[in-house]
A and B are shown apart, each in its own frame.
Chain A
Amino acid sequence: MSAPPPASQHQLFSPARVWALASNTLLELIRLKVFYFLLLFGLLIIGSSAFVGKFTFQEQFQVLKDVALGAMSIFTWLLAVLSTALLLPKDIEERTLYTILAKPVPRFEYLLGKLLGVLTLLLIATSLMSFLFVGVLYFREQSAIAGLGQMPPDEQVAAIQAIRAATFTTSLVPGILFIYLKAALCASFTLLLSTFASTTIFTIMVSVVVYLIGHVQSLARDYWLQDATAGPMTKIFLALVSLVFPDLQLFNVVDDIAAGAAVPLAIAVKTGALGVLYTAVYFLVGYFLFQQKEL
């Protein structure tokens, strides 16, 4: 039997320990059968065609893209909030948290491992949904091209170009990335909430409210910064909303992307960086609260 390593060998921060915690979190979440929602997603994007059978192929592609990207947005957000809200209460209830923290595992690593586990789950879910979406879109595209029938070669080339332009655009990539980032932000915020929340229900409810307010935060900010006629109480309220809640509309460009709008690289980078910053800051505040939490 080998002797335990001396205390001096214990690393203050170990990526291996964080990854062990993250992979364990991921496995736990997978065992909760969270990926069953993919069936629902598949049914939704395939079934959406039932409503648009009489539409032209451009209309069908438009509805398919809107429904698929909207469903991806809903599912990743739900997955982020529900899976994160469960993590800490479950570990406390099953006493796993005490077993882990009794070992030389800093709370920072524990919390980071939990967050990374959820983020990996979200990455897998987003990737799977993207593959499914791209697969259905490709199948529809090929069906539309096959259905063109006999026409002069130059008209056929133009028709194929029109079909391809209505299906795949490069902007879909940043669109899906923004969906992931928004879900990551929500996961990090939910983790922050669960560090002090007493019940899972409370965490979920507050997360949902934050999600809804986050989408109108920009309106509050605009009024606060630009409307000189607002009274002092209104100004204070608007300032609080603007400062406390995240601006989720910044990540909400997927509707325009589905409509065919392009996202300039500079905007994609800035929005991406903002998403990472939000996730990091909410995680650090959550850790700050969790550090001294009595367990």
Chain B
Amino acid sequence: MKRALLSVLAVLAFGAARLLPEAALQQEQRAAGLRQGQLDLAMRQRLGQLAFVAALSGFRAIVADGFYIHAQSAWERVDWAGLKLNLDVVTALQPRCVLFWEMASWHMAYNASVAALENRAQPREALRIRSAREFIRTGEEFLLDGIASNPESARLYDLLGMLYSHKLGDHCKAAWAYFRAAERPRAPMYVQRFAAYELAQCPGHEREAYEILRTLYLKGDQERLPTLLKWLHRMQQKLSIPDAERVYNPAPQNPVR
């Protein structure tokens, strides 16, 4: 009996000794972007008891995969509300998975928005457009939330830039997003160029865009792609850059006969 009591005391003493170091390690892990999954009462409601226990017991990723497969089924059934609900769960469980944010945003901003725009059940075009806009905004929110969880991800900023440019026509925001992408580690080479193209379409920023396009052009042949040449030429003309200062002078095109 005495030994049992001493053993209990030893376990309690060990518990007391590890309490603060463990709390500190937990903070360190969270600061490093680990253990970010949201497992609270709201998630308990969404997951159901069994999946919640599984997620709590160290199988968060598998539970998230299960819901992702459900989301895929919802997409195939063209059930946009079901798709969004499942994607909300997936991204809340695995916020560090860039792929899930990317796919969630793509489903909402591209698939769902186009489906809403072409929804024949809704005769009023204004409502169809409004519905499509709402889905695009949902896609944008997924990307912004994904960036908050993965601030180092160049991919999410890249996609955000594409969404602002292609879906919302906001070139200033698109340029901002592409510039953020370019600052991230392992950013693809094209994002700097894309940032310049978008900036060239952002009113009042033509001079900045021209300087960036010029710098890129001077880097060499690998940057002198047709789109870059097109925008550089446009900016040179728009800003009335003197011929002597122009780095790029396209050959005159043959006159149309």
Q: Is the CB of A267 within 8 A of B29?
A: yes
Residue ID in chain A nearest B36 by CB atoms: A256
B1-43 Cβ-contact flags toward A at 8 Å (1 or 0): 0011011001110111011011101101100111111000000
Q: Quick one: which of B140-195 are within 8 Å of A by CB?
A: 186, 188
Tell yes or no: B240 within 8 A of A by CB.
Answer: no
- Expressed in whole angstroms, the minimum distance between the Cβ of B187 and any Cβ of chain A is 12
Q: Is the CB of B22 within 8 A of A247?
A: yes
Tell yes or no: B85 within 8 A of A by CB.
Answer: no
Q: Is the CB of B3 within 8 A of A289?
A: yes
Q: Which of B62-70, B114-122, B228-236 contacts A (4 or more CB under 8 A)?
A: B62-70
Q: Which of A6-14, A54-62, A112-120, A144-152 contacts B (4 or more CB under 8 A)?
A: A54-62
Tell yes or no: A211 within 8 A of B by CB.
Answer: yes
Tell yes or no: B57 within 8 A of A by CB.
Answer: yes
Q: Is the CB of B72 within 8 A of A261?
A: no
Tell yes or no: B61 within 8 A of A by CB.
Answer: yes
B96 proximity list for chain A (CB < 8 A): 256, 259-261
Given the interface contacts A66-B61, A258-B61, does A263 sit within 8 Å of B6 by beta carbon? no
Q: Is the CB of B58 within 8 A of A274?
A: no
Q: Is the CB of B12 within 8 A of A289?
A: no
Tell yes or no: A285 within 8 A of B by CB.
Answer: yes
A266 proximity list for chain B (CB < 8 A): 28
A70 proximity list for chain B (CB < 8 A): 58-59, 61-62
Q: Is the CB of A244 within 8 A of B33?
A: no
Q: Which of A25-33, A126-134, A199-207, A212-220 contacts B (4 or more CB under 8 A)?
A: A212-220
Tell yes or no: B99 within 8 A of A by CB.
Answer: yes
Q: Is the CB of A221 within 8 A of B19?
A: yes
Tell yes or no: A84 within 8 A of B by CB.
Answer: no
A163-206 Cβ-contact flags toward B at 8 Å (1 or 0): 00110000000000000001000000000000010000000000
User: How far apart sit A292 and B64, CA to CA, in the bound complex (Å)?
Assistant: 48
A256 proximity list for chain B (CB < 8 A): 33-37, 96
B3 proximity list for chain A (CB < 8 A): 288-289, 291-292
B129 proximity list for chain A (CB < 8 A): none
User: How far apart sit A261 and B31, CA to CA, in the bound complex (Å)?
Assistant: 12
Residue ID in chain A nearest B2 by CB atoms: A292
User: How far apart sit A63 and B68, CA to CA, in the bound complex (Å)?
Assistant: 9
Question: Which of B6, B57, B68, B103 has its CB near the most chain A CB atoms (within 10 A)?
Answer: B57
Q: Is the CB of A221 within 8 A of B23?
A: yes
Q: Quick one: which of A246-295 are within 8 Å of B by CB?
A: 247-250, 252-256, 258-264, 266-267, 270-271, 274, 277, 281, 284-285, 288-289, 291-292
Tell yes or no: B78 within 8 A of A by CB.
Answer: no
User: How far apart sit A271 and B77, CA to CA, in the bound complex (Å)?
Assistant: 44
Given the interface contacts A225-B23, A256-B96, A267-B29, does A216 sit within 8 Å of B56 by beta carbon? yes
User: How far apart sit A63 and B65, CA to CA, in the bound complex (Å)?
Assistant: 6
Q: Is the CB of A67 within 8 A of B33?
A: no
Given the interface contacts A242-B15, A243-B15, A274-B18, does A215 sit within 8 Å of B61 by beta carbon? no
Tell yes or no: A124 within 8 A of B by CB.
Answer: no
Tell yes or no: A69 within 8 A of B by CB.
Answer: yes
Residue ID in chain A nearest B33 by CB atoms: A261
Tell yes or no: B107 within 8 A of A by CB.
Answer: no
Tell yes or no: B97 within 8 A of A by CB.
Answer: yes
Tell yes or no: A52 within 8 A of B by CB.
Answer: yes
Tell yes or no: A40 within 8 A of B by CB.
Answer: no
B62 proximity list for chain A (CB < 8 A): 66-67, 70
User: How far apart sit A133 and B59, CA to CA, in the bound complex (Å)?
Assistant: 17
User: How far apart sit A267 and B11, CA to CA, in the bound complex (Å)?
Assistant: 24
Residue ID in chain A nearest B59 by CB atoms: A70
- Expressed in whole angstroms, the minimum distance between the Cβ of A178 and any Cβ of chain B is 10
Q: Which 10 residue pairs are nearest across A and B when measured between Cβ atoms?
A: A243-B15, A259-B97, A66-B61, A255-B61, A259-B96, A70-B62, A255-B60, A261-B96, A253-B34, A252-B58
Q: Jot down 12 A-B pairs with beta carbons below 8 A, ordered by A.
A: A66-B64, A182-B58, A215-B58, A222-B23, A243-B12, A243-B19, A252-B60, A255-B94, A259-B100, A260-B98, A263-B34, A270-B25
Given contacts A73-B59, A243-B15, A250-B26, 15 further A-B contacts (CB under 8 A): A52-B69, A63-B65, A65-B61, A66-B64, A67-B65, A70-B62, A74-B59, A215-B56, A221-B23, A247-B22, A253-B34, A255-B94, A259-B61, A264-B32, A266-B28
